[in-house]
Structure 1
Amino acid sequence: MSKYISLFCAATILSGCQVISPKECQSTDWLSRGINDGNNGRSANILSEYIQACSEANITVDSKAWRSGYNTGIRSYCAPENGYTVGRQGLTYNGVCPNSEFLKNYNTGRSEYELEQQKQELRNEIAQLKNQLASETDREKKKTLKQDIKQLEKRLDNLHRPNISFEISL
């Protein structure tokens, strides 16, 4: 999914779309925009993009208000417990948090997200093969499809089991 988001962002940049429109530059409450950007874990570098886009429309960004809001929002975003939530939702982390607990929790949540994605891909593949099996008339092809389904179900079952290892010292 993050691959698609990256492609969308690249396409947006290449197409000349701006991060903020001239109309938004005029009407934006920069404190609120900063809070929102911080709450969403955006990089502080977005401010320079705002400044550039708005300067093209001869509008000055209230950088001080934006920074104040951003600092408020980023404190909320960087709360350690939010790291898990961000990772579990499969969201991209932009490296904006100074504390290691956020990153640790993000990595835990992200691992769980990726595991769920793997499980869903296997479920989809199994469903697709079962649909093929239902309409297949050739006996050999049915046998192969059943074997393929069994292998995928086994892989799915292995993903459900926790990976536990023990080390015993005597």
Structure 2
Amino acid sequence: MKRLLICLPLSLLIGCQSNTTQMACNASESEWYEFGQNSAITGKSVRIFDAFKQQCAKQLTPTAQKSYIDGFSDGLISYCTFDNGFKRGQEGLELNQSCPLEIRQEFEKGYKIGKKTRDEKLKQAEFARREQLRSQQKKYVAPQKH
């Protein structure tokens, strides 16, 4: 019974993976474009397509890669902005290098400012926490008699 409980989810997971891969292999041009765009917007590498290229082999349409790269390029324009860099910095996420040099400067500037803002907030929170601890400790220290 225990073995069944372990094997069943694994077999379902493996089955789902092959179905997902199969669906991707048969994707339309617009779906490849959208997939490329979403990959860029979420900060992923353009190399993700290489994995599908390997898995799908000859099932890919001749225009799949072009559609993916077109979508990825458009997604980079949306992703590599000052505002998005600021947001990633504020959230404490890594500075990834997916933005091309031509548009990376604003993204990195936003990231540095966002990270600095986050770091300052963390320092202030730590200072406030320490001050609170000190004041609590003072309350519990008994007055000394001389």
TM-score by length of 2: 0.58
Structure 1 residue 96 corresponds to structure 2 residue 98: yes
DSSP-derived class of the 1:21 partner: helix
Instruction: Read off the aligned partner of 2:95 and give its amino acid letter.
Output: Y
**How far off is 1:89 after superposition?**
2.3
What residue is the counterpart of 1:26 in the other structure? 26
In structure 2, the CA distance between the partners of 1:88 and 1:148, relative to structure 1 (3 Å rule), is: closer
Letter in 2 for 1:150: R
| 1:96 alignment partner, SS class | coil
Higher relative contact order (CA 8 A, sep 6+): 2
Q: Name the residue aligned to 1:82.
A: 84
**2:127 aligned with 1:150:** no
Q: CA RMSD in A?
A: 3.4
Number of residue equivalences: 111
Q: Which ranges of structure 1 fall in alignment gaps of 5 or more residues?
A: 1-15, 127-145, 152-170
Following TM superposition, the consecutive aligned residue runs of length 4 or more in structure 1 with deviations greater than 4 angstroms are 114-120
TM-score (norm 1): 0.51
Once the 2 structures are TM-superposed, how far is the Cα of residue 69 of structure 1 from its aligned partner? 0.4
Percent of aligned pairs with the same amino acid: 24
For residues 91-150 of structure 1, the C-alpha deviation after alignment (integer angstroms, 9 at most, x for no partner) is: 333212223121121122123334545666x49xx6xxxxxxxxxxxxxxxxxxx99922
Change (3 A) 1:91 1:22: farther
Say if 1:35 and 1:69, in contact at 8 Å, map to a contact too: yes
The 1:53/1:91 distance shift into structure 2, 3 A limit, reads farther
Alpha-carbon distance between aligned partners in 2 of 1:89 and 1:59, rounded to the nearest angstrom = 40
> Do 1:43 and 1:94's aligned partners in 2 also have CA atoms closer than 8 Å?
no
Instruction: Describe the SS at the equivalent of 2:26.
Output: helix
CA contact (8 A) 2:40 2:79 kept: yes
Are 2:41 and 1:39 equivalent residues in the alignment? Answer: yes
Map 1:1-170 to 2 at 5 A.
21-27=21-27, 29-55=31-57, 59-60=59-60, 62-97=64-99, 98=101, 99-116=104-121, 122=126, 149-150=133-134
